[in-house]
Amino acid sequence: MKVTFVIVAAAMALAGSAHAQSAADPPLSDGGTGYIEVVGHSAFGNVTSQSFGVEGGVTIAPRLTLFGEIGWVRDTAPSEIGDAAQLMAGHLSAVQSASVAYSVRQPVTFGVAGLAYIIPVESVFQPYVLGGFGLARYTRDVTFTVGGTDVTSNIGDYGIVLGNDLAGSSIKPMLTAGGGVAWTFRSPFILDFQFRYGRIFASGKGINVSRAGLGIGIQF
């Protein structure tokens, strides 16, 4: 089946050109084929960051694969978190004279499962579409420093209490959809060009995370 991001592919593809497949020998076989892959994407939505993970699956019917994915997105922080953190930094500056700084991140870990459909084409490149559903955990990771010292854990000493908009974690449902093109460049290794759209049904307006990348894996 498919795979996701590792750059060693180009050189290996050239070295393995003598092993090129015909249209009669497609990258993704029907009937009981399993696969596992490493995932690496550029992630974009509220901010641009990176995403990594693993995916695996098994063919359950001709051109139909059951897949599961576990991943991590480095940052999905919306502008509202930055605005709230800036407001708190202003309060800190008002109660003491040292320089105040802050940083904002919202990492996400997720797990989804679903179905992928292999589009029938006469080519060694196999396009596919997929959709899945699962859970995502996002953490509001905000830190404050005063005079270069991290004071986040004892910020109450300055008369400030961080609300749920700046601290804590939440677990919410996540929908994923997308597609790509898989290529067995040297059996059993597969190269996969991917796009994934994710929607986390968080409180308020939710979180959109799109991921695009490529990678490498193995089928068995």
pLDDT of residue 122: 87
Cis peptide before 188 (omega within 30 of 0): yes
Taking Cα atoms as reference points, which of 51, 43, 37, 52 lies closest to residue 3?
A: 37
Per-residue pLDDT of the chain in tens (220 residues, 90 and over written 9): 443 333 233 333 333 333 333 333 344 444 458 899 999 999 999 999 999 999 999 999 999 999 999 999 999 999 999 999 999 999 888 888 889 999 999 999 999 999 999 999 988 899 999 999 999 999 999 999 999 899 998 888 888 888 888 989 999 999 999 999 999 888 889 999 999 999 999 877 899 999 999 989 998 8
Sequence ranges of the domains in the chain: 9-219
pLDDT of residue 36: 93
Q: pTM (2 decimals)?
A: 0.81
Burial (CB < 10 A; 0-12, 13-18, 19+), residue 143, is: middle
Q: What are phi and psi of 29, to 5 degrees?
A: -80, 155
Task: Give yes or no for a contact between 183 and 125, defined as CB atoms under 8 angstroms apart.
Answer: yes
CA distance linking residue 45 with residue 17, whole number of Å = 38
Can you name the CATH fold of 9-219? Porin (2.40.160)
pLDDT of residue 161: 85
Q: What is the length of the chain?
A: 220
